[in-house]
Amino acid sequence: MADGTLDLTGAPTLDVAQANALLLASTPEERIRWAAAHFGTHAVTLASMQKTSSVVLHMFWKLGLKNEVLFVDTGFHFSETLRVRDEFMRRYGLNIVTLYPDLTPAQQEQKFDVKLYNFLDGQPECCRMRKEEPFIKHVRTLGRKLLVLGLLKSEGGRRAKLQPLMSDPRIGGYTLHPILDWDEHDVDEYILQHEVPVNELHAQNFPSIGCQVCTTPVAPDEDPRAGRWRHLRKEGEGPRYCGINFTDGSGI
Q: In 3D, which of 213, 150, 224, 226 has the Cα closest to residue 187?
A: 150
pLDDT over 90 at 158, yes or no? no
Query: Nearest-CA neighbor of 192 among 181, 205, 202?
Result: 202
pLDDT at 238: 81
Residue 11: per-residue pLDDT: 57
Q: How far is CA 194 from CA 26, 149, 189, 198, 199, in A?
A: 20, 20, 9, 11, 15
Residues 6+ apart with CB under 8 A from 41: 66, 67, 68
Residues of the chain with pLDDT > 70: what percent? 93
Higher pLDDT, 135 or 13: 135
Number of Cβ within a 10 Å radius of residue 75: 17
> Tell me: the pLDDT tens digits for 176-213?
999 999 999 999 999 999 999 999 999 999 999 999 99
Which has more confidence, 118 or 159? 118
Query: Does the structure show a pLDDT above 80 at 148?
Result: yes
Rounded CA-CA distance 221/16 in Å is: 38
pTM here? 0.91
What helix, strand, coil percent values describe the chain, rounded to 5? 45, 15, 40
Is the per-residue pLDDT at 2 higher than 50?
no
State the pLDDT at residue 248.
82
Looking at every residue in the chain, the average pLDDT score rounds to: 92
Could you tell me which residues come within 8 angstroms of residue 164 by beta carbon, excluding any fewer than 6 positions away? 19, 20, 23, 24, 31, 176, 177, 178, 180
- pLDDT computed for residue 105 by the predictor: 98
9: confidence class by pLDDT, cuts 50, 70, 90: very low
pLDDT range class, residue 36, cuts 50, 70, 90? very high
Q: Residue 88 has what pLDDT?
A: 98
* pLDDT value, residue 236: 65
Judge whether 145 and 171 are in contact, CB under 8 Å. Answer: yes
Rounded Cα gap, residues 148 and 178, in angstroms: 7
Q: Is the pLDDT of residue 7 over 50?
A: no
Cα distances from 247 to residues 152, 158, 166, 240, 250, in angstroms, run: 11, 8, 8, 13, 7
Q: Identify the CATH number of the domain defined by range 5-203.
A: 3.40.50.620
Average pLDDT of the residues in 38-55: 97
Q: Output the CA torsion 130→158→250→50 (10° steps).
A: 20
Query: What is the distance between the alpha carbons of residues 132 and 72, in angstroms, rounded to a whole number?
Result: 9
63-106 tens-digit pLDDT? 999 999 999 999 999 999 999 999 999 999 999 999 999 999 99
**pLDDT at position 4, please?**
38
Q: Where are the domains of the chain?
A: 5-203
Average confidence (pLDDT) over 118-122: 96
